Chains A and B, each alone.
Chain A
Amino acid sequence: GNSVTQMEGPVTLSEEAFLTINCTYTATGYPSLFWYVQYPGEGLQLLLKATKADDKGSNKGFEATYRKETTSFHLEKGSVQVSDSAVYFCALPNTGNQFYFGTGTSLTVIP
């Protein structure tokens, strides 16, 4: 079945540092891939998505490229801010409208 493996956290970075959070997937076919973010005290919200191979999703300075050769969808940001402190989840659709979520990576950005 479909699954995602996500980089373990927590991750602590200084402001303006470069961020990478790794995500690899196992899937039948080429499903859409997603990153969700959970800010403190809130539910998850969609950060970005890519619907086919070689697509790049982007939002709020974050990017992720759908790479079928390496079955990866790594999240990157060139210069993180304190307000990016959150938990990030890689996600993959299952049958119907269900999703598999990764275990989440907690990011803390310090000034």
Chain B
Amino acid sequence: DVKVTQSSRYLVKRTGEKVFLECVQDMDHENMFWYRQDPGLGLRLIYFSYDVKMKEKGDIPEGYSVSREKKERFSLILESASTNQTSMYLCASSQTGARGRKLFFGSGTQLSVL
């Protein structure tokens, strides 16, 4: 079965800490995405990547960076965590082209910044 795995289900960090959220997919997908999910706001795209070492900003990239050194792994980095980054973070992947219209999601990481 296809799988997108996020390293942590729940994470608690302190303000100012550097935080790494890891995502691995086993489907050899070219595209990977990071979203945050907040009540009343739906899903908002933070960053995405169409290839190894390639990244593009989404709608809300401020305060975040990403790394994609290998095709299967896409990391989200909070350089200095702040309380307004408390949220559910969802990783997704897809194939390129018409087949890429289906997104596969991980189970999410609920991050709390205290």
Contact = CB atoms under 8 A, between A and B. Distances in A.
Interface in B87-108: 90, 92, 94, 96, 100-108
Contacts, number: 51
Given A96-B50, A97-B31, A102 B42 contact: yes
Contact of A103 (B31, B41, B100): B41
Given A42-B107, A43-B4, A96-B50, A101 B42 contact: yes
B74 interface: no
Interface residue tally on A, bucketed by range? 20 to 34
A49 B101 contact: yes
Contacts of A102: 42
Nearest to B95: A97
Nearest to A96: B50
Interface of A: 6, 32, 34, 36, 41-46, 49, 89, 93, 96-99, 101-104
11 contacts: A42-B108, A43-B90, A43-B105, A43-B108, A49-B101, A97-B50, A97-B94, A97-B101, A101-B35, A103-B40, A104-B37
